[in-house]
Amino acid sequence: MAASSVIVTAHQNPDGDAIGSSLGLCNCLKALGKTCRVVIDDKLPESFGILPGFDAVEQFAAGSSYSCDLLVVLDCEPDRTGQVYEHVTAADRLNIDHHMTNANSETDVYLDAGAAATAEIIHDFLPYLWKISDGAAGEFSPAIALPLYTGMATDTGFFRFSNTTPHTMRAAANMIEAGAAPNVVSEALEQRPLEEVVMMARAVAMVEMYHEGRVAAIFLDNEFMQQVDSIEGLVGRIRVIAGVEIAVVLKEKEPGLCRVSLRSKGRDVTRIAARFGGGGHVRAAGCTIEQPFPAAKAALLQAIDEEFASDGN
């Protein structure tokens, strides 16, 4: 690998796969003697603080600029990285992703929609990287294994979702053999401050049902969101409601900026996310709606109505 300085980035509102794949790759590159930084245009959930290298992740600050030999965009297409992509001067750019909706046409891209997580792709890629890195003898250290295991575990619902394959399980087992402790990951990600648990209960109580119980939705305005530092996992809690085919959570992160998470039990929710420039997987997708809260809610509900109307249901 010719590049000596690398910047790794991922999407805004980073999840376990975005963070885990970024740190796994970065920690590997550092072990190879490369200069590597992870820069993300968003705040990272503190629950991922168990991951090696977490404290070194840089949050993009307005007006910042960076330069490197190689910019690697993980787990999304470049335009979902916020301001990072346009403020990095790089000799080369590489996009690695597993989302079938990735429409990147400007950057070298490696896309494997059959992989359960981008962390699974990085797991498969690192042996090749070691082979081409001047004959360096590489191995999966705990600093690499724990982030990659976390990425695979979180994107598969801890290996419960339909995207879990035999290869995913073998890759996860490799990471456990290399030092990743599943109980450490699950216990860290399950922990929530009391204030967040209370707000979670309040939010779940606000669930709205549509289409004769086939859609469960929670809409949280900016006033609500200002009362809690983080409130994650809501969409999974309402997805389990009997009869629900689509679960959706809309959060107004700041006035005029709403983030949406979509989950399903079979319907292709990427069709809904794509209406707002988002993407993801058939059963899990997301998007950002840059409209005031009432307008964003109305637009999202209309998109869901049209999704049901498209198949006569």
Q: 214, 245 in Cβ contact below 8 A? A: yes
Same-domain status, 244 and 302: yes
Structure confidence at residue 136 (pLDDT): 59
Mapped to the 3 state alphabet, what secondary structure does 221-239 carry? CHHHHCCCCCCCCHHHHHH
Structure confidence at residue 263 (pLDDT): 94
Structure confidence at residue 127 (pLDDT): 93
Same-domain status, 71 and 183: yes
**Polymer length of the chain:** 313
CATH code assigned at 91: 3.90.1640.10
Which of 137, 155, 190 marks a domain boundary?
A: 190
Range of the domain at 146: 5-190
Rounded distance between C-alpha atoms, residue 76 and residue 117, angstroms: 11
Same-domain status, 202 and 144: no
Which of 190, 217, 235 marks a domain boundary?
A: 190
Same-domain status, 74 and 94: yes
One digit per residue, the tens of pLDDT, for the chain of length 313 reads: 678 999 999 999 899 999 999 999 999 999 999 999 999 999 999 999 999 999 999 999 888 889 999 999 999 999 899 999 999 999 999 999 999 888 887 789 999 999 999 999 999 999 999 988 765 568 999 999 999 999 999 999 999 988 999 999 999 999 999 999 999 999 999 888 898 899 999 999 999 999 999 999 999 999 999 988 778 889 999 999 999 999 999 999 999 999 999 999 889 999 999 999 888 888 889 999 999 999 999 999 999 999 999 876 6
Listed residue (109, 124, 179) closest to 150, CA to CA? 179
Number of domains forming the structure of the chain? 2
Same-domain status, 166 and 274: no
Same-domain status, 170 and 242: no
Looking up tokens 């307005």 gives: 62
Listed residue (194, 2, 184) closest to 91, CA to CA? 2
